Homo-oligomer: A and B are copies of this chain.
Amino acid sequence: MPIGQLDAIDRRILALLQGDARLTNVELAEKVNLSPSPCLRRVRRLEASGIIRGYHAELDRRGVGLELTVFVGIKVERHHEEQANAFREAVVNLPEVVTAHLVSGESDFLLQVVVPSLAAYEAFLTGTLLRLPGVSDIRSHFAIQPVKEYGTLPLANNNKT
């Protein structure tokens, strides 16, 4: 059951719920040409299998007073594994950090940071980021304009044959 073999209907359900998580099961069932019962069962199965990880409201950042988004590339000295782990754990617990990835390339970590203002970012940078364990270099890329936000994942036919 945990094996993820998705059929066409599953994929349509995922795509629809990605677009609107508040769709009624009745509406959803109509759109995928099922009756409500089997449709609901599929959704529950997708939830239980972990393919649907959760449902979230998308908020307008400006509307909630978060005017500034910054992408931050961070180099970390990783002579010991411990240091990298300490860094990871610290990052996870920072509410300003919306997203964080270990990446290849020039930087080691790439964070997405959201703050109310430039002043707040300055404070966050000097007061928090620069003090994280093992940080050797930080590059800030300020988001000037969102071109595409919260895009949904492409669910065409990525099925494992």
- Stoichiometry, copies per complex: 2
Tell which of A14-22, A31-39, A129-137 binds the partner. A14-22
| Cβ-defined partner of A97 (8 Å) among B64, B110, B148 | B148
The answer to whether the Cβ of A128 comes within 8 Å of any Cβ in the partner chain is no
Which residues from chain B contact A103 at a C-beta distance below 8 Å?
71, 141-144
Contact A56 B143 (CB under 8 A): no
The answer to whether the Cβ of A1 comes within 8 Å of any Cβ in the partner chain is no
Contact with B along A3-38 (1 / 0, CB 8 A): 010100001001001111110000000000000000
The answer to whether the Cβ of A40 comes within 8 Å of any Cβ in the partner chain is no
Q: How far is the CA of A140 from the CA of B110 in the complex (A)?
A: 12
| Chain A residues within 8 Å of chain B by Cβ, number | 70
**Chain A residues in the interface with B (C-beta under 8 A):** 4, 6, 11, 14, 17-22, 49-61, 63-66, 69, 71, 88, 91-92, 95-107, 109-110, 114, 116, 139-156, 158-160
Residue pairs across A and B with Cβ atoms less than 8 A apart, 18 shown, are A17-B56, A17-B57, A21-B57, A51-B63, A52-B60, A56-B56, A56-B152, A59-B153, A65-B159, A66-B153, A69-B101, A98-B152, A99-B150, A101-B145, A102-B144, A102-B145, A105-B139, A106-B141
The 6 closest A-B pairs by CB, nearest first: A65-B158, A17-B57, A105-B141, A21-B55, A95-B154, A100-B147
